[in-house]
Amino acid sequence: MILKSRNAVNVKVDGNTVNVSGRSYKSAHVLIIGASQLEMQISPSHVEIRATFSDLPEILDSTPHLLRVSAPSASLELDVDGRRISKVREEGSDVIVEGEALTFKFETDTANDSVILKIPRLTPLRVSRALVKASSGASVNAIIDPFILGIVTIYISESARISLSGQEKVASITA
């Protein structure tokens, strides 16, 4: 199904409820491909995603467990080896990643109440929650139920910043 609208299309994922411009779906597995903007919060027991598509996305809900929201002609690009990263450097307590795209994996550890982020060229980060904000495009492949894990690709216009803050160890990834 293709939405018919001239405005930006907003997608909100709150747990296993997915809202696409007012239409509600239930899904344990969500693919968001080619979003122009993305905000995401990952905690040990919950995932919340807000994505904006500047072009009209295609929605495929052909199986009861998978919902795919995709920009026209977009594809899910994964760079788990970090080949599209040209440089990683430290700046104070932050890590700056330069290149074309940053792909990272996430999973939750409910026994230790933490989120594990696996970022190429860095040691895995164990944090209380992760915040992701991308304004230059992104894709997400997330399983939300019965457990939480996934992979995110953020397209980098200049650089991406990975920050850890507070005693709770909250990770912020912005690009």
pLDDT in tens, 76-114: 888 988 999 999 998 988 999 999 999 999 999 999 999
pLDDT in tens, 126-146: 999 999 999 988 999 999 999
- The answer on 66 and 17 residing in a single domain is yes
Dihedral angle at the C-alpha atoms of 83, 85, 86, 92, nearest 10 degrees? -140
In angstroms, the CA 77 to CA 64 distance is: 24
**CA-closest candidate to residue 127, choices 119, 117, 118, 136:** 117
pTM of the model: 0.89
Total count of domains within the chain: 2
Q: Are 55 and 95 in contact (CB under 8 A)?
A: no
- Does residue 48 sit within a domain? yes
pLDDT in tens, 146-173: 999 999 999 998 889 999 887 778 999 9
In angstroms, the CA 45 to CA 144 distance is: 9
- Does residue 54 sit within a domain? yes
- Does residue 4 sit within a domain? no
- The answer on 124 and 167 residing in a single domain is yes
pLDDT in tens, 37-69: 999 999 999 999 999 999 889 998 877 789 999
- The answer on 38 and 99 residing in a single domain is no
State the average pLDDT for the chain.
90
Domain that holds residue 52: 9-70
